[in-house]
Amino acid sequence: MNRARRARIVATLGPASRAPGTVKALAQAGVDVFRLNFSHGSHEDHAAALKAVRGAEMALKRPLGVLADLQGPKLRLGKFAETSIAVKPGHTMRFDLDPTPGDATRVQMPHPEIFKALRTGMALLIDDGRVRLRVGERADDWAEVTVESGTKLSDRKGVAVPDAVIPVSALTPKDREDLNFALRIGVDWVALSFVQKAEDMAELKSIVKGRAACLAKIEKPQALAALDSILDYCDGVMVARGDLGVEMHPEEVPVAQKTIIRAARQRGVPVIVATQMLESMTASPAPTRAEASDVANAVYEGADALMLSAETASGDYPLEAVGIMNRIMERIEGDPLWPSLMDAEHAGMEGYDADALVAAARKAGEASSTGCIVVFTTLGGTARRMARERPLHPVLALTPNPDTARRLALVWGLEPRLGRQPASLEEVTDDAVGAAMEYGLAQPGQRILILAGTPFGAPGAANLLRLAHAPSQAKSRTRKAG
């Protein structure tokens, strides 16, 4: 089951899609990584979903990744005596720590850390930005606010502070419990919400300890401002456009998307574009033209993966949503303009042997006689380096490690497969040629470029680039994968 495209698809599992038969059908339709959203569903639901993914993986003989998306802190107002109040521009009231149900003059905001971060003149956004407030006088346990736009405040609506770093851990007690569970059942990726600074990702990585790859969701302006330092601790990154769109002006979100994609591509860090990609397909069998263009633009930008949320988790047409996203991706990658866009930007070499070899492989791969590039990788580093170059030929990533194969399912252009650990140059060549032909990535007589590292079997960067040719008659591999 090779993909006829380089960009990858992430799909969220939920009530509409977590049944084993549906999971398998979604993978057949084009899903590469399945997302478990820990903001919804029970641990039992997520365990059953992961089991269904592993079953589909075995049936389709293709590694599939599983991403656990942690909820993160939820900053909310308290309750009103009458459930809600009407407001209009100019309305003034107080936010405080008093749990007494609120009215038109005051209401609880049960987050002392927000009060400590507020400054006079800052903006407060309530209910996904539907109500915008401006902070007046303040102290460490209250703030006077004035409504600038909006018509209603109601119970437990979310609070966003776009102008301040809130001194709160990105990992709540619920997140820590969910994280331990996710690692225990064997997820491949963990996504952290409410990232504001590099220390948030460092904390996550210190807990995970390599048991999964760690991904930062960039959903706050503070994270965008600290993007370079956050990427130092990331195995992957997500452009979380929904939350970014709450805390930033709408015209800034496309610029933020391009900034994040460009920075991630320079680092060779897989980047996902998420939120409302095909939102109308939650209730419609076809997307809007604007949504199709949105998907297309992310592919033109070179994003590693695009994510579906409600479309597959709770929508009426999960299979259709994946199928249409797959078709759009294939069509864009068939555009004669697309190769030049992928070739327009390459990361600078860092002086490592592997960088020089990867650049040479990409250049050599431009020959029309090339069938594919085969990368032998233990932990995935060489394969990710190769993907960073955005080669136009398929890249077969052979690894003896199932965890590595599943993590690489998220990465642009890679076809990860399990293979044995070769012990000699002859085995490297035989396995590369045999696998390339077995998976239909090279035709008889075509050139195969091979990247590997010596000593064989030792994790580390590649230091060997070899050219081989597929035989005119296919021959079997000398040893079985294992």
Catalytic, 35? Answer yes
| Spacing of C-alpha 106 from chain mean position | 40
Nearest to 375 by CA among 392, 354, 347, 345: 354
Cβ burial, residue 398 (10 Å; 0-12/13-18/19+): buried
Q: Which contacts of 473-476 are long-range, i.e. CB under 8 A and separated by 24 or more positions?
A: 473/444, 474/437, 474/444, 475/434, 476/434
Would you say the C-alpha torsion 432, 436, 437, 439 has a positive or negative sign?
Answer: positive
Q: H helices within 30-142, ranges in order? A: 43-60, 112-117
Q: Which residues neighbour 428 within 8 Å (Cβ) at sequence distance 6 or greater? A: 376, 422, 450, 452, 456, 464, 466
Candidate list 76, 152, 420, 479, residue with the active-site label: 76
SS3 160: strand
Catalytic, 105? Answer no
User: How do beta strands 152-154 and 84-86 pair?
Assistant: antiparallel
Candidate list 24, 35, 265, 384, residue with the active-site label: 35
Distance CA 206, CA 190 (A): 13
Query: Which pair of structure tokens corresponds to residue 97?
Result: 């720590």
Distance CA 26, CA 48 (A): 16
Q: What angle separates helix 289-300 from helix 318-333, to the nearest 10 degrees?
A: 50
Residue 335 CA: distances (Å) to CA of 172, 177, 346, 365: 45, 46, 20, 19
Query: Which pair of structure tokens corresponds to residue 149?
Result: 């736009």
Catalytic, 275? Answer yes
Catalytic, 217? Answer yes
DSSP codes, 366-399? TSTTEEEEEEE-SSSHHHHHHHHT--SS-EEEEE
Candidate list 217, 220, 385, 407, residue with the active-site label: 217
Candidate list 12, 275, 370, 429, residue with the active-site label: 275
Amino acid sitting at position 208: V
DSSP codes, 178-239? HHHHHHHHT-SEEEESS--SHHHHHHHHHHHTTSSEEEEEE-SHHHHHTHHHHHTT-SEEEE
Read off φ and ψ for residue 290, nearest 5 degrees: -65, -40
Q: Dihedral (C-alpha) 302, 200, 213, 10: value to the nearest 10 degrees?
A: -50
Q: Among all residues, which ones are annotated catalytic?
A: 35, 76, 217, 275
